[in-house]
């Protein structure tokens, strides 16, 4: 991810901020201008609770270059309590603990280092709910 894009989207990624459609009340993540459910304008910010459950998951053993230091790692589709599905890495969980329906919560964690300068990229991940 380019540094300008990383800074521009930090609020959404680090705070799990999306939008709610004023017309149909659908909660959307990531934010978008038009509601995919009713076609209305989706311009009202909405802060998600960060709580949800594992909907599906997969462990990656041959990841992209920037993630090779942390391989293998697990990526999950998390169904947030408010409805949207979010893709994210899972953390603080052993493989034998993983199962569909596992209650999880969002945490902000280091994702990887970028470039020769070693810029640390942070993002949301999910861990078992405490």
Q: What is the pairing mode between strands 27-28 and 17-20?
A: antiparallel
Q: Dump pLDDT digits (tens) for 7-66.
A: 555 565 577 888 999 999 999 988 888 999 999 888 888 999 999 999 999 999 998 887
CATH number of the domain to which 79 belongs: 2.40.50.840
* pTM, two decimal places: 0.81
Residues spanned by the domain of 121 = 3-128
Buried b (16+ CB within 10 A) or exposed e, 30-50: ebeeebeeeeeebeeebebeb
Q: How many domains does the chain have?
A: 1
For residue 102, name the pLDDT band (cuts at 50, 70, 90).
very high
Supply the DSSP string of 41-98, one letter for each residue. B--EEEE---EEEEEEEEEESS--GGGGGG-SEEEEEEEETTS-EEEEEB-S--GGG-
């Amino acid at each position: 991810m380019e540094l300008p894009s990383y800074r521009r989207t930090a609020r959404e990624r680090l705070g799990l901020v999306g939008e709610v459609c004023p017309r149909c009340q659908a909660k959307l993540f990531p934010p978008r201008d038009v509601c995919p459910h009713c076609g209305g304008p989706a311009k009202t910010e909405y802060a998600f609770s960060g709580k949800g459950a594992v909907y599906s998951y997969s462990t990656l053993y041959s990841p992209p270059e920037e993630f090779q230091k942390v391989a293998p790692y697990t990526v999950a589709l998390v169904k947030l309590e408010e409805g949207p599905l979010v893709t994210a890495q899972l953390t603080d969980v052993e493989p034998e603990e993983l199962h569909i329906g596992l209650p999880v919560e969002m945490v902000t964690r280091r994702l990887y280092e970028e470039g020769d300068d070693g810029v640390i990229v942070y993002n949301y991940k999910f861990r078992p709910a405490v």
